[in-house]
Amino acid sequence: MMFPAIPLFPAAPDAQRWRRPFPGTPDQAAAVRRFTTMLLSGCPVLDDILLTVDELVVNALRHTRSGRPGGIFTVELAHWEGAVAVAVTDEGASSEPAVTDAADDVESGRGLRTVSLLAAGWGWFGNDRSRTVAALFAATAEPLCEAA
Protein backbone atom coordinates (compact mmCIF):
# COMPACT_ATOMS: atom_id res chain seq x y z
CA MET A 1 0.00 0.00 0.00
CA MET A 2 1.45 3.37 -0.97
CA PHE A 3 0.32 6.53 0.75
CA PRO A 4 -0.60 9.64 -1.24
CA ALA A 5 1.66 12.66 -1.00
CA ILE A 6 -0.29 15.20 1.01
CA PRO A 7 0.92 18.31 2.77
CA LEU A 8 1.00 17.33 6.43
CA PHE A 9 2.53 20.44 7.90
CA PRO A 10 1.79 24.16 7.82
CA ALA A 11 5.23 24.75 6.35
CA ALA A 12 6.46 27.79 4.51
CA PRO A 13 6.22 27.61 0.71
CA ASP A 14 10.00 27.21 0.50
CA ALA A 15 10.12 24.33 3.00
CA GLN A 16 12.30 21.37 2.18
CA ARG A 17 10.39 18.09 2.35
CA TRP A 18 11.50 14.49 2.27
CA ARG A 19 9.26 11.45 2.18
CA ARG A 20 10.23 7.79 2.16
CA PRO A 21 8.42 4.46 2.65
CA PHE A 22 10.00 1.73 4.78
CA PRO A 23 9.19 -1.97 5.19
CA GLY A 24 7.32 -2.68 8.43
CA THR A 25 10.13 -4.59 10.11
CA PRO A 26 11.86 -3.75 13.42
CA ASP A 27 15.27 -3.17 11.81
CA GLN A 28 13.81 -0.21 9.91
CA ALA A 29 13.73 1.94 13.05
CA ALA A 30 17.52 2.23 12.73
CA ALA A 31 17.17 3.00 9.01
CA VAL A 32 14.75 5.83 9.82
CA ARG A 33 17.19 7.27 12.37
CA ARG A 34 19.97 7.22 9.74
CA PHE A 35 17.63 8.82 7.16
CA THR A 36 16.68 11.57 9.62
CA THR A 37 20.26 12.17 10.77
CA MET A 38 21.51 12.44 7.19
CA LEU A 39 18.89 15.05 6.32
CA LEU A 40 19.03 17.11 9.53
CA SER A 41 22.70 16.84 10.43
CA GLY A 42 23.82 19.79 12.54
CA CYS A 43 20.38 20.46 13.97
CA PRO A 44 20.67 21.50 17.64
CA VAL A 45 17.54 19.52 18.56
CA LEU A 46 18.41 16.48 16.45
CA ASP A 47 18.44 14.19 19.51
CA ASP A 48 14.87 15.23 20.36
CA ILE A 49 13.79 14.74 16.75
CA LEU A 50 15.44 11.30 16.61
CA LEU A 51 13.78 10.21 19.84
CA THR A 52 10.44 11.42 18.51
CA VAL A 53 10.66 9.80 15.08
CA ASP A 54 11.91 6.59 16.70
CA GLU A 55 8.91 6.53 19.04
CA LEU A 56 6.49 7.16 16.17
CA VAL A 57 8.05 4.35 14.11
CA VAL A 58 8.04 1.89 17.01
CA ASN A 59 4.38 2.71 17.66
CA ALA A 60 3.54 2.10 13.99
CA LEU A 61 5.30 -1.26 14.11
CA ARG A 62 3.91 -2.31 17.49
CA HIS A 63 0.33 -1.05 17.34
CA THR A 64 -0.75 -1.00 13.66
CA ARG A 65 -0.96 -3.26 10.63
CA SER A 66 2.33 -1.76 9.42
CA GLY A 67 4.14 -4.15 11.77
CA ARG A 68 2.55 -7.25 10.27
CA PRO A 69 4.24 -9.28 7.51
CA GLY A 70 4.24 -7.23 4.31
CA GLY A 71 3.39 -4.01 6.15
CA ILE A 72 4.95 -0.64 5.40
CA PHE A 73 5.06 2.82 6.92
CA THR A 74 6.11 6.17 5.51
CA VAL A 75 8.23 8.85 7.16
CA GLU A 76 7.96 12.49 6.15
CA LEU A 77 10.26 15.28 7.30
CA ALA A 78 9.77 18.96 6.61
CA HIS A 79 12.25 21.72 7.38
CA TRP A 80 11.80 25.43 7.01
CA GLU A 81 13.37 28.42 8.68
CA GLY A 82 13.19 27.81 12.41
CA ALA A 83 11.05 24.68 12.35
CA VAL A 84 11.09 20.95 11.70
CA ALA A 85 8.14 18.58 11.49
CA VAL A 86 8.19 14.80 11.44
CA ALA A 87 5.36 12.43 10.59
CA VAL A 88 4.87 8.69 10.35
CA THR A 89 1.99 7.30 8.31
CA ASP A 90 1.06 3.69 9.04
CA GLU A 91 -1.51 1.18 7.81
CA GLY A 92 -3.95 1.92 10.61
CA ALA A 93 -5.36 0.18 13.65
CA SER A 94 -8.63 0.02 15.54
CA SER A 95 -7.14 1.86 18.53
CA GLU A 96 -6.23 5.55 18.69
CA PRO A 97 -2.87 7.03 19.69
CA ALA A 98 -3.06 8.41 23.22
CA VAL A 99 -0.79 9.84 25.87
CA THR A 100 -0.81 7.88 29.11
CA ASP A 101 -0.52 9.66 32.44
CA ALA A 102 2.93 9.07 33.92
CA ALA A 103 1.28 7.78 37.11
CA ASP A 104 -0.58 5.04 35.23
CA ASP A 105 0.92 1.60 35.60
CA VAL A 106 0.53 0.68 31.92
CA GLU A 107 3.14 0.18 29.25
CA SER A 108 1.45 1.79 26.23
CA GLY A 109 1.26 5.56 25.82
CA ARG A 110 4.41 6.56 27.64
CA GLY A 111 6.30 7.14 24.40
CA LEU A 112 3.72 9.63 23.19
CA ARG A 113 4.01 11.37 26.54
CA THR A 114 7.72 11.80 25.79
CA VAL A 115 6.87 13.12 22.32
CA SER A 116 4.41 15.59 23.83
CA LEU A 117 7.13 16.88 26.17
CA LEU A 118 9.86 17.17 23.50
CA ALA A 119 7.90 18.67 20.62
CA ALA A 120 6.10 22.02 20.49
CA GLY A 121 3.02 20.05 19.47
CA TRP A 122 1.88 16.72 18.12
CA GLY A 123 -1.28 15.21 16.74
CA TRP A 124 -2.74 12.55 14.53
CA PHE A 125 -5.44 11.94 11.99
CA GLY A 126 -6.69 8.88 10.15
CA ASN A 127 -8.67 5.74 10.69
CA ASP A 128 -8.35 1.96 10.86
CA ARG A 129 -6.85 1.83 7.33
CA SER A 130 -4.27 4.63 7.48
CA ARG A 131 -3.14 6.98 10.19
CA THR A 132 -0.55 9.76 10.42
CA VAL A 133 1.06 10.86 13.67
CA ALA A 134 3.10 14.07 13.44
CA ALA A 135 5.19 16.27 15.72
CA LEU A 136 6.34 19.85 15.25
CA PHE A 137 9.52 21.35 16.61
CA ALA A 138 8.65 25.02 16.88
CA ALA A 139 10.08 28.04 15.19
CA THR A 140 12.91 29.87 16.89
CA ALA A 141 14.59 33.22 16.34
CA GLU A 142 17.54 31.45 14.72
CA PRO A 143 17.28 28.76 12.03
CA LEU A 144 16.62 25.50 13.83
CA CYS A 145 18.66 23.26 11.55
CA GLU A 146 20.91 23.38 8.55
CA ALA A 147 19.32 20.89 6.18
CA ALA A 148 21.43 18.68 3.94
Q: What's this model's pTM, rounded to 2 decimal places?
A: 0.84
- Tell me which residue range forms the domain holding 50: 17-137
User: For residue 40, is it within any domain?
Assistant: yes
d(CA 60, CA 119): 18
Residue 10 pLDDT more than 70? no
The CATH number covering residue 117 comes to: 3.30.565.10
User: For residue 22, is it within any domain?
Assistant: yes
Number of domains observed in the structure of the chain: 1
Local confidence band at 2 (pLDDT 50, 70, 90 cut-offs): very low
User: For residue 147, is it within any domain?
Assistant: no
Residue 64 pLDDT more than 90? yes
User: For residue 1, is it within any domain?
Assistant: no
The average pLDDT across 64-75 equals 96
The average pLDDT across 142-146 equals 60
User: For residue 86, is it within any domain?
Assistant: yes
The average pLDDT across 110-131 equals 90
Question: Kind and range of the H or E element at 113?
Answer: helix 110-118
Residue type, 106: V
User: For residue 24, is it within any domain?
Assistant: yes
Please state, as a whole number, how many other Cβ atoms lie within 10 Å of the Cβ of residue 52.
28
